[in-house]
Structure 1
């Protein structure tokens, strides 16, 4: 009887240890035209908020379970999202193909000054133009890294922010999970392409710009901050919009 009890305990420990083993999915990322491996690709488990990057040979592995959503992004390529299947969990040789983005540039005409041809007049026109641009940018806050990060009231920004994040507030709460995962934190602190933020929050780059503009962040911050700083700013913006929305409801009563 004693040996049987020991056997059961041993079996229980083995089963428990196997159950606690983390599942991972593996694969190799390739360019879909050249078929060459693509390294340094962001590989994000959106469901578990875990992050990884592909190696020099394009290979990667990341913690994942059945039906988790894995997001792949890299500057210059179209981002894709794949769902984890049983076949993927069993197969370590899955090949992922990324497609390069095609950029088309519209023709533009740069015409900074309307000059008259008279030196004295043209000098004054240029000075006036520079002074106006300086005052405009100064007023907008583009000379500083941050402007006042509070919600403005120029054209109902609360409604704008609410419409963007309607039904997505739980995605914003992933910030704490991001801070707990060192890979995710390092990845967001060194990226500027916004693809990971878009994947985590389920929004577009335009949504990010629109939200931060309505929260009075400067253009310099919007376009040069790291993905982690932007993620934090979006969280703060949404929290402030909720406070203002509650205040507005209270005033209407």
Structure 2
């Protein structure tokens, strides 16, 4: 009888351990409902991104979303006309399930725009100096077939090459000192939900949040990668993502080549 009890105890222990192991391997998911503080109604098509795991989703018609997340992950919520917010995933949220999240509407105001007209003098040399000169060439970004974009030169490697050999260069500081953030580029490109969201946005907000850079630095990365001001001003967020990703891949190739040369000399 004692042997039978011992056998049953071992079986129960093994089953319990196996269940715990299975629970640990299964991805944790959280569910939430996003409502407007103005209408108290649900908000559909709200963009939700898990900053830590670089995955995205959006709310359905009832304002409900579900996303993979672990405790202490941060979710970034954004919606047109509403203030973007960050929400921390807690153990209580995971344990008790759906939670309500409120988003506040923004007051939108149009800024006054001043259009500067060309004031012609009648002197050809003076008037020609007032006309902006664009020396951009069209090229294609990988991942976006059939579309052309502007750049000062099709080959961005020369800019990146200068960044590698000049430690004070902006690109060196951004790419070399932010390896964890730059690694998110590939994950962002692989997530269909994030790519679809970025293709419809022009505010750079999601890119700034995921890469942990401000608006100036983000634009400067693209500028230093030899993309034109026209491209920076007109590209959507997905095009900016692909541009930075292409430049970063160039950076890694040249950086590895430089390190190998150093190793051969030593």
Q: TM-score of the superposition, structure 2-length normalised?
A: 0.70
Please say if residues 142 and 219 of structure 1, whose CA atoms lie closer than 8 Å, have aligned partners that are also in contact: no
Please say if residues 167 and 173 of structure 2, whose CA atoms lie closer than 8 Å, have aligned partners that are also in contact: no
CA 158–141 in structure 1, closer or farther in 2 if over 3 Å, else same: farther
Tell me how far apart the structure 2 counterparts of residues 173 and 234 of structure 1 sit (CA, whole Å): 12
Equivalent in 165, 169, 179 of residue 169 of structure 1: 179
Tell me how far apart the structure 1 counterparts of residues 113 and 237 of structure 2 sit (CA, whole Å): 30
Please say if residues 57 and 65 of structure 2, whose CA atoms lie closer than 8 Å, have aligned partners that are also in contact: yes
For structure 2, the 5+ residue unaligned runs are 140-147
Please say if residues 37 and 102 of structure 2, whose CA atoms lie closer than 8 Å, have aligned partners that are also in contact: yes
Structure with larger RCO (C-alpha < 8 A, sep 6+): 1
Tell me how far apart the structure 2 counterparts of residues 37 and 200 of structure 1 sit (CA, whole Å): 26
SS for the counterpart of 2:207 is helix
Please say if residues 141 and 218 of structure 1, whose CA atoms lie closer than 8 Å, have aligned partners that are also in contact: no
Corresponding residue number in structure 1 for 2:245: 235
Q: Does 1:73 align with 2:73?
A: no
Q: Does 1:146 align with 2:156?
A: no
Q: Does 1:53 align with 2:63?
A: no
Equivalent in 216, 221, 231 of residue 206 of structure 1: 216
Q: Does 1:218 align with 2:218?
A: no
Please say if residues 146 and 221 of structure 1, whose CA atoms lie closer than 8 Å, have aligned partners that are also in contact: yes
Q: Does 1:16 align with 2:21?
A: yes
SS for the counterpart of 2:49 is strand
Tell me how far apart the structure 1 counterparts of residues 167 and 38 of structure 2 sit (CA, whole Å): 43
Aligned residues: 241
CA 192–115 in structure 1, closer or farther in 2 if over 3 Å, else same: closer
SS for the counterpart of 2:170 is helix
**What are the Cα deviations for residues 195-244 of structure 1, in whole angstroms up to 9, with x where unaligned?**
22111101123222111111111234324444333223223334545647
